[in-house]
Structure formats: structure tokens, C-alpha cells
Amino acid sequence: MSLISPDDVHNQLLVSRVHPPDWVNPQPSDRYDLVVLGAGTAGLVVAAGAAGLGIGLKVALIEKHLMGGDCLNVGCVPSKCMIRSSRVVAEMRDARSFGVIPPDTIEVDFPAVMERMRQLRAGISENDSADRFKKLGVDVFLGEASFLDRDRIQVSDRILNFKKAVIATGARARDPEIPGLAEAGYLTNETVFSLTDRPRRLAVIGGGAIGCELAQTFQRLGCEVMLFHKHARLLDREDPDAAELLQQVFLKEGIRVILNCNIDQVRSSPDGKVIDANGESFVVDEILVGAGRAPNVEGLNLEAVGVNYDRKGVKVNDYLQTTNPRIYAAGDICMDWKYTHAADAAARIVIKNALFSPFGFGRSKLSSLTMPWVTYTDPEIAHVGIYESDNAELIKITLDKVDRAIADGETNGFIKLLHRTGSDEILGATIVARHAGEMISEITTAIVGKRGLNTLSTVIHPYPTQAEMIKKAADAYRRKLLTPTSRKLLGLLTKFS
Ligand SMILES: Cc1cc2nc3c(=O)[nH]c(=O)nc-3n(C[C@H](O)[C@H](O)[C@H](O)COP(=O)(O)OP(=O)(O)OC[C@H]3O[C@@H](n4cnc5c(N)ncnc54)[C@H](O)[C@@H]3O)c2cc1C
Ligand SMILES: NC(=O)c1ccc[n+]([C@@H]2O[C@H](COP(=O)([O-])OP(=O)(O)OC[C@H]3O[C@@H](n4cnc5c(N)ncnc54)[C@H](O)[C@@H]3O)[C@@H](O)[C@H]2O)c1
């Protein structure tokens, strides 16, 4: 049976790279300096980073399913490919406002959208391939890893002795435990990208990152989408104005958003799957669940090595060390930040702390990271640092003041920038814009480089770009500094100039 469906040429290429069917696990070394469990982003970065140093470290990497993990196979990559197709649809629907006459009907060839995604995903997969890691000097083992005792890990018929180990086994869709849901059947991120036919009516459970990105994508690709969310607003952990703006976009695009929802049960009927919620019954063809994540701890036998965990994942300290000091963890298995770039950053910390910090000297901390994130809806919502708080002053600039956004017809958005009261120190920002993800790094760079709004206001931004919004925010800060006295002083200066 194929490891990922459909069993077409693209998925065959993918599998040939990330879980080659004819792979023979190597004879293990006597003792590994590092054994990495899980070959998603975190595991791959740890293994490549340690082996790639060229200092003779013995590194083993174990993967039970597909190397590349969620991001490549069933997460970031396939979702962003589909989002791109769905943006084309949105642009075509909106074409008249640009003076372009669209065809009478805009047809979406859903199987072709999915095939494009599979083709691009297979193309990208080489980077995460077993062959590449073998060439880097990593011993790649395909099979399920399990700790035997404090020194040994078992994978299939091989036993690996380790000095240090890294748990990077990631997370999976959390079962929302709704009566009847399992019996009726549902999709998760592990199965939704295998669809080849478009469901006519799709329910999405969960209005977080997965739910929002995919609800909009499927609606634009021609499904009737109903989005069920527990809380009073979508993306409830994001800036409320950003979430409100997105909600308005969703409603305008025809997504049915059911908020404050409590799903009583799911049942099957001749007409489809019925969701009973908030006193109503909703009939759909497929249900996609994006209701948070559960850590992949099962089968690891963590008890044998004294690694503590709970329903949120493996417990780590700020150095990413588990309760067994020789075992570290990185990525979705142990972190609240469930992002590929966060897994990557954590993996780098693990390499440093596990291998290059004798007696604990020079260790790096997870809490020292400045972590941005982006929800790739349209418009995108990007965030870094703090949200609005009493100790910070807010500057808000809307995109309708930015020439390039006006020219692009993309004025639905804003930047909210927070700086320390009485100083130009940037504490956080939320950007809502079509390409907000491309803009947030300027703010992250400023925060990491300890540069404030005074510096940003001296940075020349090419005209016309939407990122000028950031410069406008910095200029607004400078204007706030002008007091009646300083204005008088400036007046005097002009007199003598
Ligand atoms: C739909 C979706 C879209 C996303 N979009 C984005 C995005 O746009 N940007 C972003 O930054 N993040 C995104 N994410 C999150 C991102 O995919 C994860 O944060 C990232 O993949 C975490 O990497 P990881 O290495 O910790 O875990 P994973 O990628 O889950 O990798 C863990 C690996 O361990 C393997 N494994 C598990 N148990 C064992 C075992 N016992 N033995 C051996 N191997 C094992 C698994 O098979 C898996 O390959 C998205 C996630 C989803 C679901
Ligand atoms: N662009 C990105 O970086 C990106 C994209 C997708 C996913 N991710 C990562 O993947 C992780 C998982 O995403 P997610 O969307 O599953 O989790 P999430 O935690 O972001 O959102 C899930 C939401 O579903 C709600 N929910 C839970 N049970 C429910 C129920 N029975 N009915 C209605 N609503 C319910 C929760 O209250 C929550 O708000 C996220 O933490 C995110 O970091 C990142």
C-alpha cells in the first residue's frame, strides 16, 4: 500500500525520496554521539547540523513515516500550494475592479489544483530525502523508534546505542471528541491533501490557523464551506482587529462562520454528514478537523528513560533538555510555538546545548528567541512580540494611506505597532496585508538588532511599496515626540537657517 495517496507519479517520486521502499537500514555504529527520533523539520535540522559540521560526529536519524514530516508532506508545503491556486480564483473573481473582464464562469479544475500541489511537493522533497542525509554522513533508519533503556533505542531489528538523543517526533491533529464524529468519518491535515475530488459542502471544525487557511482556500476553490469555531471570534489568540477584519472577508466570500459553537454530535444521513450544533443541523459531504494538536509520544517508551510528558507534549526546560539531561527535544513535540521556523530555531539551540556547551557553559535559551508567525489567509496576518498592553503605546497605520496598496487594490489591512511607553523600543507588531508575511521580518530584525522606531524612520523604503506602512508608523512615532516646546525650537532654527 502506498504511504501517501493517490499513488500517482508525483507521490511515487515523493515517497522514493522521503521513504524509499527499497531502503536498507545501515548496520548501527557502536555508539552514536546523537540519535534523532523523527525526521520532520526539527529532526532534519538537528541531524544535518550535527553531521554537517564535519568533525566526525556519529549521528543517526530515525523516521517511521515520511522524512520531511508535517511541513513537507501534510502541512506548510501542500497548504501553501493550494492557497496560491485559490488566490488566482479570488483575483479572477475580482478582475472587473481592475478593468479586466473575467470569463462568464470561472471554472476550478480541482483535480488539477491538487496535482499541481503534488508535483511541487515532490519537487521540493529532494532536500529532505534519505539519500541526501546519507550523503551528509547521517545513518538514516526507517522504522518506528522506541527507547529500550537509558542507553539504547530500538528501530525495527536494529539497536542503537546513544550518548545523547533528541526527541523530534512532532504532533498530529487532536481528536475533538465529538460524539459520532469518528463513526461519520473526518479529514485531518494528514488526509485532506490526498483529496482528488472536490467535496461540494465542507465543514471545517476549528477557527485557528489550519481552519482559517483551509476554509478560505476550499471556499475559493468552489466548496460551500461552513467554519465551526468554539470561541467568539476566529483566530482568538490574534489581535482582535485582525481577526475581525478576516471574519468580514470570510463572510463576504460566502463562508458560513458559526461562532461560540458547541457541536453536540455528528451523524450520518442519506444526504450527507449532519452536524448538530447551536440548535441547528448542518449537512455536509466532508468534515475537516483543525482543532489543535496532540503530541506524538505513544510508543516511544519515555518511561524507560525518565522523560516526563503530559497531554501537551514532552516537558523541557529553557535549554530544551527533557527530565533526562542526556535527552533533548525540539519542535511540535515540546513547544507552544508550532511552526516550521520555530522547529528549525529550536533544533539549532539543541545542537549547541547538547554538543557544544561543556558543563552547561554557553547554552542558549528558547525564551531568548524572538518568534514571528504568519497565518496565510488573504489578507495574511503576521505577528511578532507582544499584543496591546498597558505598558505599551500603540501606533496604527491603515493600508488605505499607502499608495502602493491603493494601486494594488489591496487596502484591506493595517499595521499595529507597539513600543515601550516613553521610548522608541519596539515591543511587538501585527501586520495585516496581502503579503504581511513578507513584511514582518523588518520588525523582527529591528527587535533582534535592538533598533527602535528612530532607526526605522531613517530607513529608506522604496516607493511605492506596501512596506512603506512600516516607515509611516515610525514617522508617526517621531511626530508624537514633537511637544509645543520642541516645535517652538524648530521654528527658531528655521529663522536662523
Ligand atoms: C496544515 C498545516 C499547515 C501548516 N502551515 C505552516 C506554515 O505555513 N508555516 C509554519 O511555520 N508552520 C506551519 N505548520 C506547522 C509545521 O508543519 C510544524 O510546526 C512543523 O512541521 C513541526 O516540525 P517537527 O519536526 O517538530 O514535527 P513534524 O513535522 O511533525 O515531524 C515529526 C516526525 O517524527 C516522525 N515520528 C513520530 N513518531 C516517531 C517515532 N516513534 N519514530 C520515528 N519517527 C517518528 C513523524 O512521522 C514525523 O515525520 C503547519 C501545520 C499544518 C498541519
Ligand atoms: N501559517 C502557519 O504558520 C500555520 C498554519 C497551520 C497550522 N499551523 C500550526 O499548526 C498548529 C495547529 O493548528 P490548528 O488550527 O489545528 O490549532 P489552533 O490551536 O491554532 O486552533 C484550533 C482552534 O480550534 C478550536 N476548537 C477546538 N475544538 C473545537 C471544537 N470542538 N469545535 C470548534 N472549535 C474547536 C480551538 O479553540 C482553537 O481555537 C497551530 O498551533 C499552528 O501553530 C501553523
121 lines ligand 2 (CB under 6 A): no
User: What's the mean pLDDT in 338-352?
Assistant: 98
**What residues flank ligand 1, with Cβ below 6 Å?**
37-43, 62-66, 69-71, 75-76, 79, 144-145, 168-171, 189, 210, 296, 299-300, 331-333, 338-341, 343, 376
332 confidence band (pLDDT: 50, 70, 90)? very high
Radius of gyration, CA atoms only, the chain: 25
Residues annotated in the binding site for NAD(+), as ranges? 206-213, 292
Residue carrying the nine cell digits 496604527: 396
Q: Give the max Cα distance, the chain.
A: 87
Ligand with minimal distance to 339 CA? 1
User: To test ligand 2's pocket by mutation, which of 217, 332, 338 has the most ligand atoms within 8 angstroms of CB?
Assistant: 338
Q: ∠ CA(318), CA(322), CA(324), 5° rounding? A: 135
pLDDT digits (tens, 9 = 90+) for 421-441: 999 999 999 999 999 999 999
> Which residue puts its alpha carbon closest to atom 45 of ligand 1?
38
pLDDT digits (tens, 9 = 90+) for 227-246: 999 999 999 999 999 999 99
The CATH code of domain 181-291 reads: 3.50.50.60
Local structure of 346: helix, strand or coil: helix
Residue type, position 37, single letter: L
User: What is the model's pLDDT at position 482?
Assistant: 85
State in Å, rounded, how far the first CA of the chain is from the last one.
82
Ligand with minimal distance to 265 CA? 2
pLDDT(364) > 80: yes
User: What is the model's pLDDT at position 453?
Assistant: 98
Q: Give the span between the Cα atoms of 432 and 374, in whole angstroms.
A: 10
**All cell numbers assigned to 36:** 534523532
Measured in Å, residue 140 CA sits from the centre of ligand 2 at 32
pLDDT(1) > 80: no
Looking at ligand 2, which atom is closest to the CA of residue 210?
15
Ligand with minimal distance to 373 CA? 2
pLDDT digits (tens, 9 = 90+) for 151-167: 999 999 999 999 999 99
Q: Do domains 9-173+294-368 and 181-291 have the same CATH topology?
A: yes
3-class SS shares of the chain: helix, strand, coil, % to 5: 35, 25, 40
User: What is the model's pLDDT at position 486?
Assistant: 84
Q: Give the span between the Cα atoms of 214 and 191, in whole angstroms.
A: 13
CB within 8 A of 162, min separation 6: which ones?
A: 31, 32, 34, 35, 60, 151, 152, 153, 326
Q: At what angle do helices 240-252 and 209-220 cross, to 10 degrees?
A: 20
pLDDT digits (tens, 9 = 90+) for 279-325: 999 999 999 999 999 999 999 999 999 999 999 999 999 999 999 99
Domain 379-480 class in CATH: alpha beta
User: What is the model's pLDDT at position 461?
Assistant: 98
494 confidence band (pLDDT: 50, 70, 90)? confident
**All cell numbers assigned to 53:** 559540521
* pTM metric for this prediction: 0.98
Q: What are the DSSP calls for 259-300, one per residue?
A: -S--EEEEEEETTEEEEEETTEEEEESEEEE-S-EEE--TTS
Q: Quick check: ipTM above 0.85?
A: yes
Q: Give the span between the Cα atoms of 274 and 447, in whole angstroms.
A: 48
Q: Is the dihedral of CA 179, 180, 181, 182 positive or negative?
A: positive
The pairing of strands 201-205 and 224-228 is parallel
375 lines ligand 2 (CB under 6 A): yes
> Which residue puts its alpha carbon closest to atom 19 of ligand 2?
292
Measured in Å, residue 205 CA sits from the centre of ligand 1 at 20
H helix runs in 94-171, sequence order: 110-124, 130-135
User: What is the model's pLDDT at position 492?
Assistant: 86
User: To test ligand 2's pocket by mutation, which of 70, 210, 216, 265 has the most ligand atoms within 8 angstroms of CB?
Assistant: 210
User: What is the model's pLDDT at position 311?
Assistant: 97
229 lines ligand 2 (CB under 6 A): yes
70, 217, 253 from 80: Cα distances, Å: 13, 10, 19
User: What is the model's pLDDT at position 390?
Assistant: 83
275 confidence band (pLDDT: 50, 70, 90)? very high
Looking at ligand 1, which atom is closest to the CA of residue 70?
29
Looking at ligand 1, which atom is closest to the CA of residue 66?
49
CB within 8 A of 270, min separation 6: which ones?
A: none
Average pLDDT taken over every residue of the chain: 97
Percent of the chain residues past pLDDT 70, beyond the cut? 100
Q: What are the phi and psi torsion angles at 89 (to 5°)?
A: -60, -45
Looking at ligand 1, which atom is closest to the CA of residue 333?
26
Neighbours of 482 (CB within 10 A): 11
292 lines ligand 2 (CB under 6 A): yes
496 confidence band (pLDDT: 50, 70, 90)? confident
User: What's the mean pLDDT in 350-370?
Assistant: 96
2 confidence band (pLDDT: 50, 70, 90)? confident
User: What's the mean pLDDT in 391-416?
Assistant: 98
165 pairs with which residues across the strands? 35, 327
User: What is the model's pLDDT at position 487?
Assistant: 82
pLDDT(485) > 90: no
Residue carrying the nine cell digits 506602512: 469
Measured in Å, residue 231 CA sits from the centre of ligand 1 at 26
Please count the CA atoms within 13 angstroms of the CA of 169 that sit on its side-chain side: 23
pLDDT digits (tens, 9 = 90+) for 108-121: 999 999 999 999 99
User: What's the mean pLDDT in 460-465?
Assistant: 98
Residues of 358-387 as b/e, b for ≥16 C-beta within 10 angstroms? eeeeebbebeebebbbbbbbbbbbbbbbeb
490 confidence band (pLDDT: 50, 70, 90)? confident
196 confidence band (pLDDT: 50, 70, 90)? very high
**All cell numbers assigned to 12:** 511515487
Name the CATH superfamily for 9-173+294-368: FAD/NAD(P)-binding domain (3.50.50.60)
User: To test ligand 1's pocket by mutation, which of 4, 76, 214 has the most ligand atoms within 8 angstroms of CB?
Assistant: 76
pLDDT digits (tens, 9 = 90+) for 442-462: 999 999 999 999 999 999 999
Residues annotated in the binding site, as ranges? 80, 206-213, 292, 332
pLDDT digits (tens, 9 = 90+) for 72-94: 999 999 999 999 999 999 999 99
Delimit the domains of the chain by residue range: 9-173+294-368, 181-291, 379-480
pLDDT digits (tens, 9 = 90+) for 35-58: 999 999 999 999 999 999 989 999
Percent of the chain residues past pLDDT 90, beyond the cut? 95
Ligand with minimal distance to 382 CA? 2
Q: What are the phi and psi torsion angles at 230 (to 5°)?
A: -65, -35
User: What's the mean pLDDT in 15-19?
Assistant: 98
H helix runs in 374-435, sequence order: 403-408
